[in-house]
Structure 1
Amino acid sequence: MGEVPLCSGDVVFHILDNGDWLYQQSPLPTKFAKLFASILHRNNKEYSLITPVEKVKVDVAEHAFLLVDYTVESTVLTTAHTLVRQGNGDNQQSIVFESSIGSQFTVFKADVMVCEQSIVVKLPRGLTAKLNRNCYYRYIDEMLSD
């Protein structure tokens, strides 16, 4: 299967810092944002929605998702994407994050990067997400405190 053609060079979707999605500069209802988020990809620093027949460019302010909550799982959940990691310890803990639009992502602790000003989570399809303020402080308190 070859490269999916770009539908148009115009950017009609925008994802803001606060996690809101816009379509043609108007707010996109959450149910549609969640649907489109399932086909969002990042390749070579470019974001796009990819279907089997076309690709649409997306402008992302900083990160594709704003994470608002999480739960820590003692065992890896069985999901559509199988999580497999070699090794042991805290990095084997799975964490289920929820985004501002209701999407859920199961990742390992090793996928969470603590930066100077934020906490960033590596997601499938080349995407990243940032924790909102409440989630950031809770994560620092629960996951990084000894």
Structure 2
Amino acid sequence: MSLDSIIGQLTGHENKVPPVELWDPPYCGEMDIVIKADGSWYYNGSIFKRMSLVKLFASVIKKENDEYFLVTPVEKIKITVEDAPFVLTQWQWQDDCQETIIVATNLDDEFALNPDHRMRLDNNGQLYVTVRRNLEAKVHRNVYYQWVDIVKEVPSETGTALIFQSAGQFYTLGEI
């Protein structure tokens, strides 16, 4: 099991997200790949320098329970993810109507904040958005503060909720 063998198995998948949820290969052990909380990728303690390689590996991440794996059609390798495999780093309105928010991750995944890409607030006040399947991106602090500028204060049962809307859905940044 090596990086080269995984790269060889994934040749041809560079520009698309393979259907890893349909693959159930045998478990082949662990690899010293760590996705840090800031979204940077490390192999054997050294940072990945080739973004194309990071994007390729990110396309085959699978989460089962609370564990993360790189999955190919023939092997499943456990990796370490400190927080979430992606970081939501940018956002913009889809158009001048300001009805739908388009978000982007540190690995250039781009999508609308909508029911397919839900946002959740954890018990520690951290925001996460579903990128694909059950994989999430942690919302970067800069994006959070930009969203604070667009929220509306709405009375709630426990105080005042900080709410904004995208694609007809309401999202909360928390309560004050």
Q: Where on the TM-score scale, by shorter chain, does this alignment land: which range?
A: 0.7 to 0.9
1:121 and 2:145 aligned: no
Letter of the 2:131 counterpart: L
1:58 Cα offset (Å)? 1.4
CA positional deviation for 1:28: 1.0
1:130 aligns with 2:138: yes
* Distance of 1:59 and 1:96 partners within structure 2: 28
1:83-106 per-residue CA deviation (whole Å, 9 max, x = no partner) reads xxxxxxxxxx65432222333344
Distance in structure 1 (CA, Å) of the matches to 2:57 and 2:112? 19
Which residues of 2 match residues 55-74 of structure 1 at below 5 A?
Answer: 55-73=76-94
TM-score by length of 1: 0.73
In structure 2, runs of 5+ residues without a counterpart are 1-21, 154-176
CA RMSD of superposed structures (Å): 2.5
Task: Note if contact 2:23-2:72 (Cα within 8 Å) is conserved in structure 1.
Answer: no
Give, in angstroms, the shift of residue 118 of structure 1: 2.1
Contact kept, 8 Å, 1:40 with 1:125, in 2: the verdict is: no
2:128 maps to amino acid: V
Structure 2 length-normalised TM: 0.62
**Partner in structure 1 of residue 148 of structure 2:** 140
Bigger-Rg structure (1/2)? 2
Residue 49 (structure 2) pairs with residue 42 (structure 1) = no
Secondary structure at 1:136 match in 2: helix
Q: Distance in 2 between matches of 1:59 and 1:10?
A: 9
Q: Does 1:102 align with 2:108?
A: yes
